[in-house]
Amino acid sequence: MSKGPEISLRRATMRDVEPMMDLINGLAADGLMLPRSPASIVEKIRDFIVATVDDEFAGCGALAIIWTDIAEVRSIAVDPRFQKLGLGRRLAQFLIDEAEELDIARVMAFTYVTGFFEKLGFSVVEHESLPHKVFTDCLKCPKFHKCDEVAVVKELGVPTGEGLPAVALPKPGMPLRVGR
């Protein structure tokens, strides 16, 4: 009886930066996702997980915490040689589960592959319904004024507000509260 490939997920390390860059930017060149700079991956290495097939790098994904109640599933990328093994779904579900463990109420993504996320229970929403994302990342994006990605959101089983501090966005010109 033939045994299938050994698939595993693990935290990314600095050794993964180059293969992640090659994969993400290769898929970006094909118009399937936005490119990432080396700095954006190195600085956020702790956000990333890696999929391996028989100990070979096969894909990656990241969970970026946007605010107390929302996180973003981003940079889900699978090497074309390893597609059709369910790696994208496994990566995304791992990140969704991680958000739930952190008591985050919902996850979002900006994507060109809406159907993939809809199969995972995400719904299409207007970009304007995600102000934390727009103010943290979108303003720096070269496609800000002509964004062609679709925003999707999934509500998680985490009750909103229960036991969580009410943390609002700081208002312009208002100092942040430090200490007690």
Alpha carbons within 13 A on the beta-carbon side of 146 = 2
In sequence order, what are the residues at sequence separation of 6 or more whose Cβ sits closer than 8 angstroms to the Cβ of residue 154?
96, 106, 107, 108, 117, 120, 121, 122, 123
| pLDDT score recorded for residue 75 | 95
Tokens of 35: 């490119």
* The pLDDT value given to residue 56: 96
Output the pTM of the full model: 0.82
Identify the CA nearest to 25 among candidates 12, 6, 41, 7.
41
CA-based nearest residue to 34, from 162, 121, 148: 148
Tell me the domains of the chain and their CATH numbers: 7-155 (3.40.630.30)
- Cβ burial of 80 (10 Å; 0-12, 13-18, 19+) is exposed
Burial (CB count <10 Å: 0-12, 13-18, 19+), residue 144: exposed
Kindly give the parts of the chain with pLDDT less than 50. 163, 166, 174, 176, 178, 180
Query: What is the model's pLDDT at position 180?
Result: 47
